[in-house]
């Protein structure tokens, strides 16, 4: 079988990955060292020269030089430059969650999540390569089969990050067998509908409710494919029994069609919605939604 050589080395990589993932101190020192060096260099530069001439650190992203402020993640630096790195669970207003893995890039030849990895001077980052986009397409297909997504009847269609990203990555079919999971719809709240059939487990609602609204209405609980889901902070498990309000930040944060306002169906017609106008890779600096 012709794949076997590749596979063998791929396997070696996987082992190495596990070993590396388990190597705190080493990785730590080197990361620190590099960024400490970068910091030191920057400090020196700042001290030595007049402010106009200050040298900002840069890295290469698909061959393009991207400057960054130390402390920024790769995706933050790219976004600031208007460069699109596909992502679903990252939102510029919040600390990265790191779960969707759509933002996976190759840094100096190794895979990493660009939403959690700090940018470092001199690194070489691959982003929109065939290899990475193929992986991203597979991840998208995973989302489409693990939930129940029927875009034509979904209020979010046209404003949906998942759908827009699928267009961007030219995903034409779900590829895998559908799981058709049994997921709940919660229509208990007077102003908000929750349709968990479309949840992509990004946890943005959890973070927004906790950090912006100060309410902790949601929590991501359970385990695994069937178990993991949003839990709601009431004994009944119903949204109506919480202090959730339509004006909460969490009410507008969902990148897909789970958290929807009631009585506002198709106020903006299909065809005139956010991603109908411009593809997602050209709205990089727009905050979603």
Partner 1 sequence: MSDNRTIDAVLERHGRDGTHLVQILREIQEQLNWLSPATLTRIADGVGWPRAQVSGTAAFYSFFHTRQRGKYCVLWSDNITDRMLGNTDLMDAMCKKLWLEPGRVSEDGLVSVNTTSCTGMCDQGPALLVNYRAVTGMTLQRVDEMAELIRRETPVAEWPADWFAVQDNVRRAEILLAGNFAPGSALRAAHQRAEVDGLSASNNRSFRESLPQGIAGPMAMLDEIQRSRLRGRGGAGFSTRFKWEACRNAPLRADQERIVVCNADEGEPGTFKDRVLLTSYADLVFEGMTVAAYAVGATRGFLYLRGEYRYLLEPLQAVLERRRAAGLLGKRILDIPGARFDIEIHLGAGAYVCGEESALIESLEGKPGRPRVRPPFPVTNGYLDQPTIVNNVETFASAALVALHGGDWFAAIGTKQSTGTKILSVSGDVARPGLYEYAYGVTVRQVLADCGATDTLAVQISGPSGMCLADDEFDRKIAFEDVPTAGAFMVFNTSRDMFEVARNFSHFFAHESCGFCTPCRVGTTLVRNIMDKIANRHGSPYDINELFKLHRLMQGASHCGLGNTACNPVFDTLNKFRPAYEHRLLSLDYEPAFDLDAALSEARQMTGRDDAGAHFAAHSPDEAKA
Residues that bind ligand SF4 (CB under 6 A): 149-151, 154, 156-157, 160, 162-163, 198-205, 230, 253-254, 256-259
The one of ligand FES, ligand SF4, partner 1, none whose footprint includes residue 246, by CB under 5 to 8 A per kind, is none
Among 9, 31, 71, 93, binds partner 1 (CB under 8 A): 31
101 touches partner 1 by CB under 8 A: yes
Q: How far is CA 113 from CA 90, 102, 252, 260, in A?
A: 11, 8, 25, 29
In the shown chain, the binding pattern of residues 116 to 145 toward partner 1, with x for contact by CB under 8 A and - for none, equals: x------------------x--xx--xx-x
DSSP 231-244: EESSTT--GGGS--
Tell me which stretch binds partner 1 (CB under 8 A): 18-26, 44-52, 63-71, 276-284.
18-26
The one of partner 1, ligand FES, ligand SF4, none whose footprint includes residue 265, by CB under 5 to 8 A per kind, is none
Among 34, 83, 220, 240, binds partner 1 (CB under 8 A): 220
Nearer to partner 1, 68 or 90 (CB): 90
Dihedral angle sign, alpha carbons of residues 97, 101, 103, 105: positive
Residue whose C-alpha is closest to residue 69's, from 46, 47, 100: 46
- Rounded to a whole number of angstroms, the minimum distance from the CB of residue 157 to ligand SF4 is 4
Task: Give Cβ neighbours of residue 168 (< 8 Å, ≥ 6 apart).
Answer: 84, 86, 279, 280, 281
**What is the Cα–Cα distance from 238 to 110, expressed in whole angstroms?**
44
Report, in this order, helix, strand and coil percent for the chain, each rounded to 5: 40, 15, 50
Q: What is the DSSP letter of 115?
A: T
**What is the Cα–Cα distance from 132 to 169, expressed in whole angstroms?**
10
77 touches partner 1 by CB under 8 A: no
Q: Which residues bind partner 1 (CB under 8 A)?
A: 1, 3-4, 7-8, 10-11, 13-15, 17-19, 21-29, 31, 96, 98-102, 104, 111, 113, 116, 135, 138-139, 142-143, 145-146, 176-177, 179, 201, 216-225, 227-228, 230-237
């Amino acid at each position: 079988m012709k794949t076997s050589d590749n596979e063998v080395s791929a396997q070696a990589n996987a082992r190495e990955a596990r070993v590396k993932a388990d190597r705190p101190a080493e990785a730590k020192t080197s990361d620190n060292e590099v960024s400490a060096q970068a910091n030191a260099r920057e400090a020196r530069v700042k001290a030595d020269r007049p402010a106009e001439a200050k040298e900002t650190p840069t890295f290469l992203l698909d061959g393009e030089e991207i400057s960054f402020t130390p402390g920024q993640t790769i995706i933050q630096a790219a976004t600031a430059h208007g460069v699109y790195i596909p992502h679903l669970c990252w939102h510029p207003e919040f600390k990265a969650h790191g779960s969707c893995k759509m933002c996976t890039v190759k840094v100096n030849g190794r895979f990493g999540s660009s939403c959690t990895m700090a940018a470092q001077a001199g690194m070489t980052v691959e982003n929109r390569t065939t290899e990475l986009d193929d992986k991203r397409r597979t991840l998208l297909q995973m989302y489409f089969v693990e939930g129940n997504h029927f875009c034509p009847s979904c209020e979010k269609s046209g404003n949906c990050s998942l759908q827009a990203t699928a267009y961007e990555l030219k995903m034409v079919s779900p590829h895998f067998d559908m799981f058709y999971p049994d997921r709940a719809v919660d229509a208990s709240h007077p102003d908000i509908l929750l349709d968990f059939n479309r949840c992509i487990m990004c946890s943005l609602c959890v973070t927004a409710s906790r950090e912006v609204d100060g309410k902790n209405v949601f929590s991501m609980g359970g385990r695994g494919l069937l178990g993991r889901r949003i839990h709601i902070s009431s004994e009944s498990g119903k949204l109506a029994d919480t202090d959730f309000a339509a004006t909460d930040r969490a009410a507008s944060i969902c990148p897909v069609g789970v958290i929807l306002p009631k009585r506002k169906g198709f106020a903006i017609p299909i065809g005139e919605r956010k991603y109908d106008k411009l593809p997602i890779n050209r709205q990089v600096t727009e905050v979603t939604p």
